[in-house]
Amino acid sequence: MSRRWLFADQLGPHFLDERKQPVLLIESKAVFRRRVYHRQKAHLILSALRHRAAELGDQAIFLRGETYGQALRTVREPLEVCHPTSRRALEFVRERDGVTVLPARGHVTSLEDFADWADGRRGALRMEAFYRFAREHHGVLMDGREPAGGRWSFDTENREPPPKDGRLGVPAPPMPKEDDIDAEVRADLDRWAREGIRFTGRDGPRRFPATAGEATARLRHFLKHRLAAFGRYEDAMLSTDPWLAHSLLSSSFNLGLLDPVEAVRGAERTYRRQGAPLAAVEGFVRQVMGWRDYIWHTYWYFGKGWGDSNELGARRSLPDWWRDLDADAVGARCLADVLTGVRDRAWVHHIPRLMVLGNYALQRGWRPAELVEWFHTRFVDGYEWVMTGNVVGMSQYADLGRMTTKPYVAGGAYINRMSDYCGGCRYDPRQRLGEDACPFTAGYWAFLARNRSRIPANARMARTMKQLSRLSDLDAVVAQEKRRGSDPP
Ligand code: SF4
């Protein structure tokens, strides 16, 4: 049996054919020189890789050095590797003699499944249609030929604002316990920082699983105690509770520690056997085998140039306070809290990412490619394949709608409805002009004014555009937002 080379995001047992298969693991320091990573993300990657090497013991050759190329020169036997997760890595493995590239793993659907589905379609390749195909194809949440409960989507039930008392009544997610490997990683990262490798964000206890065992324990706890509340509150934001009822499993899927098939099947079992609410289960399944798989496939299917799309002509560079996660420089309560979460935990859930961070950047006209890099390096679950679709296609609308029918842009009213932020903020979500003008509300109208000729005039935008044309103070709002520029709000 050939030795299986596992990248640092292919660490779970589902990346091997047999439990005892010989393995090659490589730790490359050069990876951390190329980009400025969040300290806790760098820690998680190294910790997961070293934990896997320790688990495998003599079964694995574990090489630690500067580059992959240098490490590979010391390996004399043929290798096989599962399809890597970035274009750069795919090119790299394809150029190596003696390396066989196998199909990708770590997703519910295969690249071929997606291509078969996509090639035969006319019009836009929307997530919703792919998700239906994937559920039918894999028989997930299906009652015969019909979707469980008679509907494909329970999205409308899954948009509740947070409870008024700020309590969801679910137990907190179990946190991993650090061990000697984590201590060694921390000491190495301190030394690398002294040698000149730059990190950002704050160090902190490891909050995300570094082994398949820890990831499975977190999944079980989620299914048993938290999934039922996940659905209704999946879009809610609370200053007092960053985790809400989210699974905190995205980094485990993306490190390859946890097989998403296991999570999807486990969620379905809680619905069928334990009576978990269908809306919650469907919401979770949609995130994992809908959105996650769709984002993975579109990264490959739409090709290299897609990631460079910038159809709204966003030209501004990310400001330093944003790059450096300087949350203390920000007065707007929602943005300050979310940026604090990124700085201190390298994680916030999908709505702060989309409707606070992404929304703010979209309104300001910041370059989508820089944002992809920023999300990639600042989040524990960030990878190029993850962030290209989520940022370029979804949050920045930079491809003018290959993924979504309208831009994810919103004013303060949305944040006010879905969070507890606005009450304690120096700005007023209803104001778009003047000292108290909410930067999201003002930014919303300024964005629409700037892009009115670029945004397709479809039915979902018609009412908004009509409102825009009736605003008597629009010129003043646009001038105000120009003055504010990219300064911290
Ligand atoms: Fe955010 Fe505006 Fe609400 Fe302040 S008023 S918390 S800036 S949405």
Pick the residue whose CA is nearest to atom 7 on ligand 1: 332
DSSP string, 133-169: HHHHHHT-SEETTEEGGG-S--GGGG-PPPPTTS---
Whose C-alpha lies nearest to ligand 1, atom 6? Answer: 422
What are 299's two structure tokens?
């990264």
Report yes or no: 159 and 235 within 8 Å, Cβ to Cβ: yes
Report how many domains make up the chain.
Answer: 3
Give me the pLDDT at residue 101, please.
97
E-strand ranges in 223-285 read: none
pLDDT of residue 100: 97
Is 276 inside a domain boundary?
Answer: yes
Q: How far apart are CA 386 and CA 407, in angstroms?
A: 19
Q: What is the pLDDT of residue 455?
A: 85
Distance in Å, CA 238 to ligand 1 centroid = 13
Give a yes or no: residue 197 inside a domain.
Answer: no
pLDDT at 187: 98
Residue 374: CB atoms within 10 A of its CB come to: 24
User: pTM for the whole thing?
Assistant: 0.96
What is the CB-side half-sphere exposure of residue 195 using CA atoms within 13 A? 11
Q: In terms of domains, do 349 and 424 share one?
A: yes
The radius of gyration of the chain from alpha carbons, rounded to an integer in Å, stands at: 23
- Residue 23 phi, psi dihedral angles, 5° rounding: -130, 150
Predicted pLDDT of residue 281: 98
For residue 314, the CA-to-ligand 1 centroid distance in Å is 23
Structural domain of 398: 305-484
Whether 93 and 118 share a structural domain: no
- Indicate whether 8 and 95 sit together in one domain: yes
Whether residue 417 is found in the same domain as residue 448: yes
What confidence score (pLDDT) does residue 406 get? 87
CATH number for position 130: 1.25.40.80
Does one domain contain both 136 and 13? no
DSSP summary character for residue 219? H
For residue 426, what are the CA distances in angstroms to 188, 332, 409, 422?
42, 7, 22, 8
Ligand 1 binding pocket includes 258 (Cβ within 6 Å) = no
Geometric angle at alpha carbon 364, from 482 and 335, rounded to 5°: 115
Between helices 111-119 and 293-301, what is the axis angle to 10°?
A: 70
Name every residue whose Cβ is closer than 8 Å to that of residue 188 and which is 6 or more positions away in sequence.
46
Ligand 1 mutation target, pool 356, 417, 435, 438, most atoms within 8 A of CB: 438
Question: Is residue 43 located within the same domain as residue 121?
Answer: no
Instruction: State in Å: Cα 412 to ligand 1 middle.
Output: 6
Residues of the chain predicted below pLDDT 70? none
